[in-house]
Structure 1
Amino acid sequence: MRAVRLLPRAEIASKRVAGDLIGIPSRRLRSTSTTETPATASLSPRWLSDVKHRIGKCLTFGANDEQIHKAGRVLSEIARDWRELVAGSEGFLTEAKRRGIYRQEVVWGEGDSMGHVNNVMYNRFAESGRVQWTQKLGMHVDPANRKAWRSVMSPSEAGLILKSITTHFKFPMTWPDHYSVYHKLRSEPTSGTSSIVLDVVIMSELHQRPAARLVEDVVVYDYVKGKKIALPPFMLDVFRDTWTLQEEVKGRYSERVRHLLEDVRQLEQGTWDRSDAIEDTGSGAG
């Protein structure tokens, strides 16, 4: 068995989240249940844009200094951490050492005659993201087995073969735009796991929401023996650690989303959503 260097739990817990900067207590959450629904599950895909519009409406009805300060904090949080709020609340790991592709530029030639990114390209984006995702596991999470992780995408030893891929298009990206690709395990692997299902999200940076969601069914294959095998120990340990971290991140950012929405609702109740509210349209009086 190869030695595995896993990310220390103390290191995970000690990382300060941006919530500290907006008055949200930072605390280590226990691993959430696999049945827990992300805070964004029932929200519109455009919920971030909706929040901005809601805050704008609050300001047009007039706000005191405290309300203006709260609105500014919410808008700053969205601008700084929108990827974590959207993808992180679902359990996708967005940090630099874990993400697949980050802010990749959409190339003009990737579009079709309508100017939309061609449907085939989304599968290519996901494939490139999956390769980068596995390679970063070897570089940053398990450097002791970096060589083994490098061979995962080559026909040499134990590798990962794409069995099937399903793509759900949410809206057509166009040029110019940038996109980020995140992968996550759908379930916790066990010692007998011989295939893994990966959820994939391709995020439009321009629109700040998913342009496509994909499901990849990946098989573990031994190229030397020529047959499907269970996850090697080095993969199993890292994927288990990844699963645990996914659940922690989902709970953490779901909590932040709930706090953010509560703040917006309080702003509404203190500005336009009251019986004596009057819209401030400005005055032409000198």
Structure 2
Amino acid sequence: MIPLQAFRGRSLAVISAQCSLRSTRLFSVSTASQNAPASDPRTTPKKPHGIDPRWLTMTKRRIGRCMMFGLKPLQIQEAGEVLQQIANDWRELVAGSEGYLTDETRRGLFQQKVAWGEMFLTFTSTCLGHVNNVTYPRYAETARVYYTRNFAMHIDPAHKREWLNLVSSKGIGLILRSITIDYKFPMTYPDKVTVYHKLVHDPTSPKTPHHGFYLQAMIISEARQRPAARVHEDIVMYDYKANKKTELPPFVFEQFKATWKLQEQAKEFWQQRILDIETRVRTLETESWDREDAVEDTGSAK
């Protein structure tokens, strides 16, 4: 079992998919609704392939229903511990379970405030109530620059100058060939955004472009605690001196290989944490409202 701090602390920087851009129902683990038939508690949850965007909200509601029905002291303690874990690790549960590295030495943007001026305005200066769609590429571009600079400042300082040159027009640099954005919901002011990037393919895979690579980004609404947009970026490695495309430099290739391994480890680790939470919440349900002899605790009349 990989220790938790390996994916949350600074040690992540030194530990040695292509996902569908269109969002599917991110989590094959079901969430119980009030009218849904109870699932068999003996059934082992299947390994998740992703997390439902509303999984956090639904999990909190499920726990809330158990508490409203009535729990014993030990069950209340268990519910509190689960809620505390979700509160502490929600970014990792949402993004880490998809392979995004959320450590402070890896993230692009963190709790960037949404400005009122980023809202969509009509020619009469009337606010239509949501962040302008053209703002999301700026979030992604800014985060991508910081994603690259993180290699220079934290992960591979031995090649600091080379990494910094990648986001300039000196020597070998990065050019965005194309960007695709899948908007999930209209984000509004006030809010904050956090943006993570990840590699789409193992750099040793034949699916990786010969003269570049693909990145995916998750733009998260801190207020909603779920993705506001998903981004797919096609990056080209370009030699400005030779005026032509070029292959990934060896220092980039080696760091991307290590990063890919970390992504896979993070995905496995946080998906397992989700399954653990699902199991604990389901146990609370089957020990409270979702049992044959369940009687709601309405309090004493005395």
Give the TM-score category using the shorter length: 0.7 to 0.9
Q: Distance in 1 between matches of 2:50 and 2:230?
A: 16
Match of 1:95 in 2: 103
Match of 2:185 in 1: 171
Q: CA deviation at 1:239?
A: 0.8
Per-residue CA deviations over 1:81-120 (Å, capped at 9, x if unaligned) read: 0000010000000000001000000011000121200000
Trace 1:1-286 onto structure 2 (pairs within 5 A). Answer: 16=5, 41=49, 43-112=51-120, 113-190=127-204, 193-282=210-299, 285=301
RMSD: 2.3
Q: CA deviation at 1:40?
A: 5.2
Q: CA deviation at 1:126?
A: 0.3
The amino acid that maps onto 1:71 is: A
Q: Distance in 1 between matches of 2:101 and 2:229?
A: 17
Q: Distance in 2 between matches of 1:281 and 1:49?
A: 25
Which structure 1 residue ranges, 5 or more long, are not aligned?
1-12, 20-30
Moved more, 41-50 or 174-183: 41-50
- Indicate conservation of the 8 Å contact 1:134/1:149, yes or no: yes
Q: Distance in 2 between matches of 1:190 and 1:18?
A: 23
Structure 2-normalised TM-score? 0.81
Q: Distance in 1 between matches of 2:299 and 2:7?
A: 35
Per-residue CA deviations over 1:147-176 (Å, capped at 9, x if unaligned) read: 111111111111111000000000011000
C-alpha distance 95-111 of structure 1, shift in aligned 2 (>3 A): same
Structure number with greater CO (CA < 8 Å, separation at least 6) is: 1
Match of 1:26 in 2: none
Moved more, 185-194 or 245-254: 185-194
- Indicate conservation of the 8 Å contact 2:51/2:94, yes or no: no
Q: Distance in 1 between matches of 2:98 and 2:106?
A: 15
Q: Distance in 2 between matches of 1:274 and 1:260?
A: 20
C-alpha distance 178-238 of structure 1, shift in aligned 2 (>3 A): same
Structure 1-normalised TM-score? 0.85
- Report sequence identity in percent: 49
C-alpha distance 81-14 of structure 1, shift in aligned 2 (>3 A): closer
C-alpha distance 190-225 of structure 1, shift in aligned 2 (>3 A): farther
Q: CA deviation at 1:44?
A: 2.9
